[in-house]
Amino acid sequence: MLSKDKVFILKTTPFQDSDLIVNAFSAQEGRVDFLVKGARKSKKRFVGGVLEPSHYVFVLYYKKRSYFEGEGGLHILKEAHLIEDFSALRLNYERLEMALYFLKLVYQVARHGDPHAQDLFNLLGNGLKALMVSENIENLKIHFETKLLYYEGVYSLDDLSVPLLKLPLSKHQELSWLDDERKKVIASVQRVLRGYLNK
């Protein structure tokens, strides 16, 4: 069955002689994984690095049969067209490094049929947009991590985290804490994040 969707590319891995495995994230499906046959040989099918991590793309693909039985699997990617490449991220090493960190976090927590897919999808998109113009990347990192953990249901609300969750990522530069408060938030988020990723 031919399906279509809009996804963020999270990760790509060479496979066999000329194929590529692409891990992506969809607002509807959660984590989706594709096999792209001959992707590393043909430069005509996916021009301009359309399948690069962080790219937002429109995809046409054939769903693996087991998908309809409630399992994930490698779908066969037929076409991919670039919607947004977030090009400003590649002009600054610090921004690019943080973008790859955001992608890695989503890759680590995302799963097929994720009930929080829409929230995580919006979080990633808004995070990449904010990162392109951010003048306080460390604030954005804490903000992103806190929201991600909250959407995953593993971060408890407290007086310091409530402002983080209410404020959109685009306003992360407006966050202001006393030094002790900032340290408490960072320590709390990092503790929960380590525990969640290592579960």
DSSP conformation class of 170: G
Q: Say what the pTM is.
A: 0.91
How far apart are the C-alpha atoms of 80 and 102, rounded to whole Å? 22
How far apart are the C-alpha atoms of 155 and 149, rounded to whole Å? 5
The 3-state DSSP class for residue 63 equals coil
Q: Give CA 47 to chain center in angstroms.
A: 22
How far apart are the C-alpha atoms of 85 and 57, rounded to whole Å? 8
Say what the pLDDT of residue 67 is.
Answer: 47
Contact status, residue 38 vs residue 17, Cβ threshold 8 Å: no
Q: What is the pLDDT of residues 78-128, one digit of tens each?
A: 999 999 999 999 999 999 999 999 999 999 999 988 888 999 999 999 999
Looking at the DSSP bridge assignments, the partners of residue 8 are 25, 56
Give the domains, in start order, of the chain with CATH numbers: 2-88 (2.40.50.140), 90-197 (1.20.1440)
Q: Where are the alpha helices (DSSP H) in 41-178?
A: 93-109, 117-133, 137-151, 161-166
Q: What is the pLDDT of residues 17-56, one digit of tens each?
A: 888 999 999 999 999 999 998 877 766 677 668 999 999 9
